[in-house]
Amino acid sequence: MANIALLTDLIEPEATALGLSLVRVRMQGGKSDPTLQVMAERPDTRQLVIEDCAELSRRISDKFDALEAEGKDPVGEDAYRLEVSSPGIDRPLTRLQDFADWEGQEARIRLVEPFEDRKQISGNLMGVEGTKITVDVNKHKLMTIDFSQVADAKLVMTDRLIAATAPLSTEGADEVFYQDTPTDEPDAHEADTEEGQH
């Protein structure tokens, strides 16, 4: 199984070198279709254009190829697909700052352990104080949880969220950069939309 903390440590400097902020790194698809998913964004637009996706993908591939040549394969899969994309509008919330940045928007949060008999809470983000996140659950009760209690979280697509992100350019918002690894042609890259490759 891939060590996500190690992969994040390897990928984050490559994103930073391009002026990007790393949002999430994870392996998905299981044994049948192992995919290393990397989400990143430009801090000013919260999006990536296809050129950003392609350049970040190249940098990650080059670094991982060099490590593999040294016998230090960081992924641990014989073949896998590298997917680099923008987080999109209904983005995952992976950093404490995300919960502050998106205050006022609706989110769905899955908890590590049940809290007040709930394993999942949904509601408007009301703010962050220290490591504590306050959520107006279904607009009737305020709940405060620690960031350490969050298993995963994402924004909920609402008219309010669409309006809040409307000034941003939609160019490249739904584009994903894929590269199958390994490949017979190491320099071959393909850019496609999420719908265009399965």
pLDDT-derived band of residue 138, with 50, 70 and 90 as boundaries?
Answer: confident
Q: What is the CATH number of the domain that holds 119?
A: 2.30.30.180
Instruction: Label residues 7-32 b or e (16+ Cβ within 10 Å = b).
Output: beebbeebbeeeebbbbbbbbeeeee
0.75 exceeded by pTM: no
Residue 79 covered by a domain:
yes
pLDDT at 173 over 50: no
Tell which residue, 86, 61, 56, has the closest CA to residue 74.
Answer: 61
d(CA 126, CA 119): 19
pLDDT reported for residue 79: 81
d(CA 138, CA 136): 6
* Beta-bridge partner residues of 153: 109
Number of structural domains (the chain) is 2
Residue 88 covered by a domain:
no
pLDDT at 110 over 60: yes
Residue type at 174 in one-letter notation: D
Domain end (from 25, 50, 83): 83
Q: What is the CATH number of the domain that holds 53?
A: 3.30.300.70
The residue segments making up the domain with residue 58 are 2-83
Q: Is residue 104 domain-shared with residue 155, that is, in the same domain?
A: yes
